[in-house]
């Protein structure tokens, strides 16, 4: 076993692929998710393939749940030095004046407070170990605005600002912190190929590569950032969107 990793929201989608990939890289992985049964399925799959994992049901927006998840991981294996803050929710499409307090708090707690809770707890322990890798799964909506998604956009921008500050404060202790910014991914939250609506057809039209990403393609970037050769990357926000955010998109079809 090389290192101990915590992956949040790992019961499905990007988190599940990340947990499996890190286990293949010889890490012991705490598979955390709100839906414990999904987390258990992923952990069993990892163990069946010869890796080390355990599942824990945890609401990442709740301090007691986060503290318990970390404590259980520490008791089982030791200090987690790799943290992937992946759990996230998109929420419904609402105009700014339609968002109620409950929706705001749900999205901000899940996407942002969670990152604060895990990071605050683990940073002093990583400092003691002289090593830490933190990956915050943001979005291209952490870099750009997007109509009818104001709370999600605000939450992902917050994650990126937080990432940069952690990088600046803690780099001297051997700890790096980076964000990744996926575009559209073939997951429940992103777009399942089987229910492609007009909305997603427009997404794919704007994408230079004319497809959405597979979760493993996102996990692979995370794997690199926490891997052996990732140590000089700190405070970065990696766009991984097939080129969607690289162009304005108005003239792309003129010659076709």
Ligand X SMILES: NC(=O)c1ccc[n+]([C@@H]2O[C@H](COP(=O)([O-])OP(=O)(O)OC[C@H]3O[C@@H](n4cnc5c(N)ncnc54)[C@H](O)[C@@H]3O)[C@@H](O)[C@H]2O)c1
204 binding ligand X? (CB under 6 A): no
Which range, of 84-92, 94-102, 166-174, 193-201, touches ligand X by CB under 6 A?
84-92
Q: Is residue 202 close enough to count as binding ligand X by CB under 6 A? A: no
Report the residue from 51, 80, 91, 190 that binds ligand X according to the rule CB under 6 A: 190
Backbone angles phi, psi at 99, to 5 degrees: -80, 125
CB 32 within 8 A of CB 118: no
Does 88 interact with ligand X (rule: CB under 6 A)? yes
Cα-flanking dihedrals φ and ψ of residue 210, to 5°? 55, 35
The answer to whether 12 contacts ligand X (rule: CB under 6 A) is yes
- Residue 56 interacts with ligand X (CB under 6 A): yes or no: no
Residue 108: count other Cβ atoms within 10 Å of its Cβ.
17
Candidate ranges 57-65, 170-178, 222-230, 231-239; the one touching ligand X (CB under 6 A): 57-65
Could you tell me the smallest distance in angstroms from the CB atom of residue 89 to ligand X?
5
Buried b (16+ CB within 10 A) or exposed e, 60-94: bbbeebbeebbeebeeebebbbbbbbbbbbbbeee
User: Which one of 82-90, 93-101, 120-128, 192-200 is the stretch in contact with ligand X (CB under 6 A)?
Assistant: 82-90
Q: Is 11 in the site for ligand X (CB under 6 A)?
A: yes
Q: Which residues pair with 85 in a beta bridge?
A: 136
What is the H or E stretch that residue 126 is in? Answer: helix 114-129
Q: According to the binding rule CB under 6 A, does residue 242 interact with ligand X? A: no
Instruction: In whole angstroms, give the CA distance from residue 14 to residue 185.
Output: 8
Task: Tell me which stretch binds ligand X (CB under 6 A): 32-40, 118-126, 167-175, 192-200.
Answer: 32-40
- The CA dihedral of 46, 47, 52, 57, to the nearest 10 degrees, is 70
Q: How far is the CB of 185 from ligand X (least distance, A)?
A: 4
Is 182 a binding residue for ligand X by CB under 6 A? The answer is yes
Q: Least Å distance between CB 58 and ligand X?
A: 6
Instruction: Please state, in angstroms and rounded to a whole number, the distance separating the CA atoms of residues 232 and 58.
Output: 32
Examine the residue annotation and report whether 131 is marked as an active-site residue of this protein. Answer: no
Q: Decide if residue 9 touches ligand X (CB under 6 A).
A: yes
- Tokens standing for 40? 């258990």
Q: Which is nearer to ligand X, 110 or 119 (CB)?
A: 110
| 8 A C-beta contact, residue 6 and residue 83 | yes
Going by the DSSP 8-state scheme, the letter that residue 163 receives in this structure is H
Establish if 132 lies at the interface with ligand X (CB under 6 A): no
Q: Which residues bind ligand X (CB under 6 A)?
A: 8-9, 11-15, 33-35, 38, 58-61, 86-89, 110, 137, 139, 182, 184-185, 187-190
Which residues are designated catalytic?
152
């Amino acid at each position: 076993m090389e290192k101990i990793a915590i992956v949040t929201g790992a019961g499905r989608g990007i988190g599940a692929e990340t947990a499996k990939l890190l286990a293949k890289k010889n890490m012991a992985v705490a598979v955390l998710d709100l839906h414990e049964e999904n987390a258990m399925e992923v952990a069993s799959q990892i163990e069946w393939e010869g890796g080390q994992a355990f599942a824990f049901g945890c609401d990442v927006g709740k301090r007691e749940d986060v503290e318990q998840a970390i404590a259980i991981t520490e008791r089982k294996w030791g200090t987690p030095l790799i943290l992937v803050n992946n759990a996230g929710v998109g929420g419904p499409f609402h105009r700014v004046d339609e968002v109620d307090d409950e929706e705001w708090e749900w999205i901000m707690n899940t996407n942002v407070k969670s990152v604060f809770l895990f990071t605050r707890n683990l940073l002093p322990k990583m400092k003691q170990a002289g090593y830490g890798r933190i990956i915050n799964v943001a979005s291209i909506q952490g870099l750009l605005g997007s109509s009818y998604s104001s709370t999600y956009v605000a939450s992902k921008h917050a994650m990126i600002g937080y990432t940069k500050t952690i990088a600046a404060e803690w780099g001297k202790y051997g700890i790096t912190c980076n964000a990744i910014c996926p575009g559209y991914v073939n997951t429940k939250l992103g777009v399942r190929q089987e229910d492609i609506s007009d909305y997603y057809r427009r997404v794919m039209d704007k994408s230079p590569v004319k497809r959405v990403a597979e979760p493993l393609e996102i996990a692979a970037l995370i794997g690199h950032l926490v891997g052996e050769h990732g140590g000089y990357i700190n405070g970065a926000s990696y766009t991984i969107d097939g080129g969607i955010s690289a162009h304005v998109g108005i003239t792309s079809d003129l010659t076709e």
